[in-house]
Amino acid sequence: MTEMVLTDFFDRAVHIYGDKRAIIDQNDNVYTYKDVNDRVNRLSHGLHSFGAQKGDRVVYLAPNTLEMYEGFYGVFQLGAVMVSLNTRLKSEDYLYILNHSESRVLFVDHELYPLVEPIIPKLEQVQTIVVHGAERSSGAYYSYDDWLANQSKESFQRAEVSENDVCSLLYTSGTTGKPKGVMLTHRNNYLHALSSMHHLRVNDEDTLIHILPMFHVNGWGSPFYYTANGMTESAPLTLASYMSSEDRDQTGNAYYAAKAKQGYEMIGTRVRVFNEHGQDVPADGETVGELVVRGHGVMKGYWKNDEETKNTIRDGWLHTGDMATIDERNRVQIVDRKKDIIISGGENISSLEVEDVFYRHPAVKEAAIVAKPDEKWGETPHAILVLREGHEATEEDMIGFVREHLAHFKCPRHVTFLDELPKTASGKIQKVYLREMV
């Protein structure tokens, strides 16, 4: 039986579409699939020279670039695990993830290296740093281009890989505490790619303007199903030149509504809505329960967190924490979230994390963060504060303070000051009223 491993997609593209353009990079340089294959082999040989081997974690902190794309297959050839990081985090976030994942090698874009440099002395496992776009190597890192050019482009002897081996760690945004590493297997991503091919109807005549970030769950999978079909992938900066070309009449768009909260499951996925006793709610489109999911895309578990894995995946069903209804046609509508999570531009933001920062300010007595509807981002955090007696602070003061401690996308854009917050008899803040207010 043939194992479903992701390198199969790349092999197919090289074999069938070898001389076809595969990548148009951010500088409008064009690479065929054969060109990329040479670079991927060089990357695998280079990683092997660092001592990287099957099961090791290799971190990438980069935007959508050629270097990021080839990283997937260069890492997978070793049987290693790709850890792709959100480019919008703070240095402290990277420090935690790098140490928690026990990663040995870090690849980072030169524009993002300043975020990594301050934490290098605190890294516990990282032995090697390679910087994309660096003009030359230094004592702290290798220049990617120089390093890659010195590696062999001969076919790399791949590790024996099972479809159930973990191929990636995707870290959550830490909405309920520290970020958790979501383990996905080759099988997870392989079958997700096949399903996506069907739903998106992609073919080898298409060109993908790669706007969704490859590090994110929204963009994760694109390097697999587009490659398998021999498509051309392009950096977003090439969009303007492409639109001015003779092929502009063949350009299309795909819109994913941030506010869409209903629909059907994808092929290979089953959804149900459970009540608090683990039983199906009536399929009446009105009774609310927790949305649970099972299928090929469900994670293997959380990295080094068996307890949370058992809490999340029970009897084969992943408990999403989303509250939803389901109707007789199996159409699901999400109506709320179990926990106070704000989803802004596809990023999950913990209200508790933002509130904790406000409580560090000496003028803040009470703080509550709720989601404010936003036409562009879907939702943004909105702060409602009660100040201590005798203290004064402006909206600008408060937002500036939080921006010193959190990634900017997590920071409220507006602040409302109240004399007191609405509470239940037990003293719990009633956020339902605050949401209505904003």
- CA nearest to 257, candidates 165, 155, 378, 173: 378
Same domain, 147 and 242: yes
Which residue, of 279, 306, 337, is where some domain finishes? 337
Hey, how many other C-beta atoms are within 10 angstroms of the C-beta on 13? Answer: 24
Same domain, 331 and 371: no
Could you read off the pLDDT of 177-225 as tens digits, one per residue?
Answer: 688 999 999 999 999 888 888 888 888 998 888 778 888 766 667 889 8
In this prediction the pTM is 0.79
Cα–Cα dist 126/301, whole Å: 24
Residues 6+ apart with CB under 8 A from 335: 261, 288, 323, 324, 325
How many residues would you count in the chain?
Answer: 438
Q: How many domains does the chain have?
A: 3
Which residue, of 337, 361, 393, is where some domain finishes? 337
CATH of the domain at 15: 3.40.50.12780
pLDDT band at 237 (very low <50, low <70, confident <90, very high): low
Helix, strand, coil share (%) of the chain residues, nearest 5? 30, 25, 45
Find the mean pLDDT for residues 85-107: 95
DSSP state of 89: S
Same domain, 124 and 226: yes
CATH of the domain at 373: 3.30.300.30
Find the mean pLDDT for residues 16-33: 94
Q: What is the dihedral of CA 5, 11, 13, 16, to 10 degrees?
A: -130
| End-to-end Cα spacing for the chain | 57
Same domain, 216 and 300: no
- CA nearest to 53, candidates 124, 104, 128, 125: 104
**One-character DSSP codes across 111-167:** TTHHHHGGGGGG-SS--EEEEET-SS--SS-EEHHHHHHTS--SPP-PPP--TTSEE
Q: Strand 378-387 to strand 414-417: parallel, antiparallel, or no bridges (unpaired)?
A: parallel
- Tell me, what's the pLDDT at 174? 65
Could you read off the pLDDT of 130-171 as tens digits, one per residue?
Answer: 999 999 999 999 999 999 999 999 999 999 999 999 999 999
Domain of residue 289: give its range. 262-337
Question: CA 426, 432, 435, 436 torsion: positive or negative?
Answer: negative
Buried b (16+ CB within 10 A) or exposed e, 365-387: ebbbbbbbeeeebbbbbbbbbeb
Same domain, 149 and 182: yes
CATH of the domain at 285: 2.30.38.10
Cα–Cα dist 180/349, whole Å: 14
Same domain, 19 and 145: yes
Task: Tell me the three state secondary structure of residue 287.
Answer: coil
Would the pLDDT of 425 be above 50? no
Strand-pair partners of 291: 273
Average pLDDT, the chain: 89
Query: Does the residue 181 lie in any domain?
Result: yes
User: Does residue 379 contact residue 435 with C-beta atoms inside 8 Å?
Assistant: no
